[in-house]
């Protein structure tokens, strides 16, 4: 008899695969020449950094055995790694402020995805 994976096992595999693919896409975009798009206002790239890491938080929070603190560590290390990798290219430059924007995205992602859970436990009776 052939063992078929359970629905939960398939979900876990997909969660890991989608998270890894998203990280790979962000890494490639971060290392391509030319930047990530038009700067419609000063420091627009920081908003792109934060948005990317909010999305990574949303995907990473679905990965089993990746606790919130581990996810924070993974994403902060990933952001730092991108900046280090950019420092080795001639067409991109490393920036501590980019990493700070990544960290802000991680924090916002954590707060946004935790808030609905916390809000569901709030007492709405006015106490």
Q: What is the pLDDT of residues 56-109, one digit of tens each?
A: 999 999 998 889 999 999 999 999 999 999 999 999 999 999 999 999 999 999
Coarse DSSP helix, strand, coil percentages of the chain, rounded to the nearest 5 percent: 70, 0, 30
- Could you give the CA distance from residue 92 to residue 64 in angstroms, rounded to a whole number? 34
Contacts of 93 by beta carbon, 8 Å cutoff, 6+ apart: 86, 87
Model-level pTM?
0.81
The domain limits of the chain are: 45-120
Contact predicate 69/106, CB 8 Å: no
Q: Which residue has the tokens 């890494």?
A: 27
Tally of CA atoms within 13 A in the half-sphere of 76 that contains its CB: 11
């Amino acid at each position: 008899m052939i063992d078929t994976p359970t629905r939960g096992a398939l979900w876990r595999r997909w969660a890991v695969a989608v998270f890894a693919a998203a990280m790979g896409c962000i890494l490639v975009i971060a290392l391509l020449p030319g930047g990530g798009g038009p700067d419609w206002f000063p420091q627009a790239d920081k908003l792109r950094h934060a948005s990317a890491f909010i999305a990574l938080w949303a995907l990473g929070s679905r990965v089993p055995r990746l606790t919130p603190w581990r996810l924070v560590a993974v994403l902060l290390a990933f952001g730092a790694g991108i900046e280090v990798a950019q420092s080795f290219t001639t067409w991109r430059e490393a920036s501590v402020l980019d990493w700070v924007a990544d960290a802000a995205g991680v924090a916002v992602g954590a707060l946004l995805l935790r808030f609905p859970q916390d809000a569901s436990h709030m007492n709405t009776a006015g106490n």
